[in-house]
Every structure is written in C-alpha cells, then in structure tokens.
Amino acid sequence: MTTSSDQIEIYDTTLRDGGQALGVNLSLADKLELSRQLDWLGVSYIEGGWPGSNPKDAGYFEEVPKLELERAKVFAFGSTRHQRNAPANDPNLIQLVQSRADGCCIFGKTWDLHVTDALRVSLQDNLEMIGSSVEFLKERTGKPVFYDAEHFFDGFLANPDYALSTLAAAAKAGADRLILCDTNGGALPEQVQRAIAAAQSVAPGVPLGIHVHNDGGLAVANTLAAVQAGCTQVQGTMNGVGERCGNVDLTSVIANLELKFGKRCLPEGHLARLTELSRIVWERLNLTAPLNQPYVGKSAFAHKGGIHVSAMQRNQRTYEHVVPESVGNTRRILISEMSGRSNLVAKLANRYPNLRDEAVLSGILNEVQDRENQGYSYEGADGSFDLLVRRHLGEWSAAFELLYYRVHGIGTAGEDAHTVEATVKLNVAGETRLCAAEGNGPVDALSHALWQALTPAFPTLSKLHLVDYKVRVVNSSDGTAAKVRVLVEYTHGTHSFTTLGVSENIIEASWQALVDAVEYAIQRGREKRA
C-alpha cells in the first residue's frame, strides 16, 4: 500500500535540460510526440522548454494544448529577472506570463561565487531578484511557480547561510516548490542529505524537489538519498540525457522508488510501460541506446555465462534482482563463444522445446563459433540466428537462388551524379528474373532491385519496412580494407527483427543482411499461412 506520503511527483525535463546534451537536437514535432509519450507513461510534469530562449520553444507552448494530455502538466522554464530590469519589463518573465503553460519553473543563483563572479551583482540584490521574480509570476499567472535553486549543494558547502537565505526569499514570495539542484553533478549522498535537512528548517511548509546531474556517477544515489531525506518531487530526464555526464536517469529512479522503496511515481500499472518509453525516447533523440542501461537496457536481463544460465533455469531469482516484466523488459539468453550448450538449449527452448539432438546442437554451436571468429556476432541478430538454426534443423529452403548482383555508376561524373543503378539476377519460383533499379546509393539501389525481383512471388515483402541500418568496423587495424559488420533491422507489421552480414566490402556485407532479411520474412510468411 502506498499512502499520500509515498507519492513522488516526477518532473521530466528531457525536452528542456535533455536538449543540452551532445548530439541532441529536437524538432517541434519531436517535442510534441515525446510529450504525448511522457503523458502515456504517466509523469506529473513535463518541462517543455524555455520560451524566452528560442522561437521553437515558444511555438511548442502554442501547440501543446492541442494534444489534450490526460495527466501531465506542461511547465515552462525560465530564469529570475535580469539585474537591470523591473519584473514587469523583463522579457524573460513576460514570455513566461504569456506562455500557455500550466505553470513555470524559474532558476536563480544560490552559490555566492556565482552571484559575484558570474552574475556580478551584490548578494543582497540577488535575493531581491529571486523574491520579486517569483512574486511577479505568482501574481500575473495565478498558476504554480516552482523555484530551481541552481548549485544549491555547492552553495550550501561554500556559504550555508546565504544559500538558505535564497530559499527563504523564494518561499516568502510564494514559490510552490523549492527545487534543490546539484548543477555541477559532483555532490555525495551524505552532503545531499545534510543540506536537505537544513533546507527543511528554513521553509517548513514548502514541498522540496531534487534535480541532480551525474558528473560523479552518483545521480541515482543522490536522488534516492534526497527522497529518503524528504524531497517529494524528482526532476530528471528519460535515459539520463543531458549535458556533460547527463541528468539523473528517471527510468532508474522510477524503477528503484517503486520496486525498492515502496513509493508511487506513476499511475498504477504503468511501471510496465517504462522499457517501451525508454526505447521511444532513444529513437526520437536519434541516439544509440546503451545495452547495459539499468532496468530498461536490452542486456539488463541478458545471461551469457554458462553457469548463470544453468542456475537461471532452476530458479530465476538466482541472477536477477527484480522480475524483468515489472518494468516491461524481457529476459535474454545470449549465444556466444563462451556460452556452451546450456545457453543454446535455453534460447531454443521456447521455440523447439523438444530439441535434444546432440548432433544438431553441436552443429549449431560450431557454426556460431566459426562465424564469430570471422566477425559475425549473433548476439544482436535474431533474424540471422533463426535462419542459421533452421538450416541445421533442415526446416529451411532458400526462397530463391542468386545468380549475380552488380552495382553500376557510382561516382561524380555525368548527370544524376549520385544516382546508382543495380542489377539482380536470380531464379525464383521456377523462372529466371533479371531486374534493374536505381537508388540514391548502392544499398538503396540493390534493395529496390531485390524487392522488384521477389515481390511478385512473395507479396509479403511489400510490408517490410527498414528501421535501422548500422555499420561498424570489425578490425580497424586494416584501415579502409578492414572487415565491416552490417546490421539491418526491419519491421514486418508489429514484429521487428535484425539480420547481419560481414565482409571487407560494405556493399557485400549489406547484401548479405538484405538477403537474410527477405529470407526470414518469407519464412515467417509461410508459417503464418500454414
């Protein structure tokens, strides 16, 4: 049972603070779609942007009301007034008043060093800037105003009395929450707890929040320590995106608070949406998800060592701290050089529960090992692995026989300089087909020609859609002659799968992956009909 004191407000700032991360560049469409998804997960607040900082963020607050979010309140971010402006003449505060947000969150200076060295105003003037800005926003908007105490923990170490007086100024002016920030991300859990105890004494009635960065690798621990010390709001970003080492990762915080501290962060039953939300965010941000991300990563519940896998088959608690399904993740059994027979049997058990044929198992294991020595890696290529198993089981027949493929006209000379032509000749369903197609590059041209040749016989292929295409050098010591591994991910309706190819020639490696993808899709199509 969670009581009201067990309720934690999740304030997501992926769209604002997350946008400071290296390589992150969100369009207005991205921001709106992510708002919809964050609402689906069930966060309490979405910090959508800083309307005073750029036109894209101002546009966001015009558009977001049309989404009619179910639960999340959308907040605008800003700063206290500029030292030279009265609140009513401060462009930043006026933008916040004019925005259609449900509330706002403004940051001010807490650390005396920042007041004197960065802002260059007197300590007293800074207190007045905080108080008058909060007061102005409360009066003019009639909506909640949260106050972000930037650098609170560093400021508290340097000059505790002054740091606390900035909180008192915001509280006195009517701030609805005081958010304690570890802006530089270097605080330690004990420091966090001591400073929070002091903050509670200067603003007893005002709920506290925590906002930390991960520069010391302690963001999750600092956030949990803050909640234990009494903070009831957690600010952070999904997947921990953010500048330098990132903000605290809300996916880890939410899972820990709900599963290990008995707190409630999301509506009942929504915790199982966490893994899907995390992957949607990685995708929208166009960043590669780290496999080892706690709770939601693809390998968070992956088992590779043979001993672990044997024990897991006897009792799942032996090597898992929580049940993967609690956060919407799944268990994976990995196939690799180290795995041995027990992993292979476990991975195949789902599909072929009665497979005990030693010769077949050995054949599969040996082929996996041989191919891994050549640079293949089946850990991330479920589609190609499935085809490999089927070949050993005699359950597979090739959908077509390739005679040749060729690519022509790559270069800068002539018209349509970047248009490439590919030809594919193959035998399919008793006839020989030669198809030619153009494309924007060699892989595009080849895939068009291949689909053109096969779709008449296998109409299911028209529903295949490429999701991702990745290339990596397997052994960079050979320079541009090094082998590359190509992974392609396709979706086929709701099912997605990955296939791979390896070669010194990037076109050949891509071709292998394309062929595996069509073979896999055709095979699945046959089974569905059967």
**Cα separation of 260 and 254, whole Å?**
10
Q: Which residue, chain included where needed, has tokens 């088992």?
A: 303
Is 104:143 a contact under the CB 8 Å cutoff?
A: yes
By CB under 8 A, is residue 304 in contact with its own copies?
A: yes
Residues 140-179, mask of contacts with its own copies (x by CB under 8 A): ----------------------------------------
**Cα separation of 363 and 257, whole Å?**
46
- Restricted to residues 79-118, the positions that interact with its own copies (CB under 8 A) are 113-114, 117-118
By CB under 8 A, is residue 351 in contact with its own copies?
A: no
Tokens at residue 526, please?
Answer: 């046959």
Least Cα distance to 209 among 167, 238, 180, 170 occurs for: 180
Q: Toward its own copies, which CB reaches closer, 63 or 243? A: 243
> Shortest gap between Cβ of 340 and its own copies (angstroms)?
10
> Shortest gap between Cβ of 225 and its own copies (angstroms)?
8
- Count of residues interacting with its own copies (CB under 8 A): 113
CA 490 to each of CA 25, 275, 496, 513: distance values in angstroms, whole numbers, following the listed order? 25, 20, 6, 11
**Cα separation of 254 and 178, whole Å?**
20
Tokens at residue 418, please?
Answer: 């970047």
What is the rounded (10 degree) CA torsion for 128, 131, 136, 139? -150
Least Cα distance to 142 among 174, 106, 95 occurs for: 174
> Shortest gap between Cβ of 204 and its own copies (angstroms)?
26
By CB under 8 A, is residue 505 in contact with its own copies?
A: yes
Pick from 74, 94, 163, 484: which binds its own copies (CB under 8 A)? 484
By CB under 8 A, is residue 260 in contact with its own copies?
A: yes
> Shortest gap between Cβ of 181 and its own copies (angstroms)?
12
> Shortest gap between Cβ of 213 and its own copies (angstroms)?
9
**Cα separation of 146 and 45, whole Å?**
11
Q: Toward its own copies, which CB reaches closer, 65 or 160? A: 160
Q: Toward its own copies, which CB reaches closer, 71 or 425? A: 425
Q: Toward its own copies, which CB reaches closer, 393 or 473? A: 473
Q: Toward its own copies, which CB reaches closer, 100 or 418? A: 418
Neighbours of 83 (CB within 10 A): 13
- Restricted to residues 384-423, the positions that interact with its own copies (CB under 8 A) are 402, 404-407, 410-413, 418, 420
Pick from 141, 275, 377, 523: which binds its own copies (CB under 8 A)? 377
DSSP 176: S
Pick from 29, 291, 323, 429: which binds its own copies (CB under 8 A)? 291
**Cα separation of 402 and 356, whole Å?**
34
Pick from 314, 356, 495, 528: which binds its own copies (CB under 8 A)? 314
